[in-house]
Amino acid sequence: MTRGCPVPVVVAGGSKTDDRTTLELIEGAMAGGAAGISIGRNAFQHVTPDRFVRAAACIVHHGKSVDEALEILKV
């Protein structure tokens, strides 16, 4: 939880993981009160970085679930 922190909390992505794990991290961070995310390698090294960023954004900005975000990644 972030309610005791006087500044916005932005969550970093960490090491390279599979899509579901990364999206679950994002979903959990947002549920815990994060203001946003800072994802590097999980986006830049993704086979379709544009789709991954769109999937992450749907969780951050629209409160979508991991399963809904994974639908964006399907080709």
pTM, two decimals, is 0.91
Alpha carbons 4 and 14: distance in angstroms, whole number: 23
Where residue 4 falls among pLDDT bands split at 50, 70, 90?
A: confident
Q: What is the pLDDT of residues 32-42, one digit of tens each?
A: 999 999 999 99
Residue 39: how many CA atoms within 13 Å on its side-chain side? 27
Domains of the chain by residue range: 12-73
Q: What is the pLDDT of residues 19-56, one digit of tens each?
A: 999 999 999 999 999 999 999 999 999 999 999 999 99
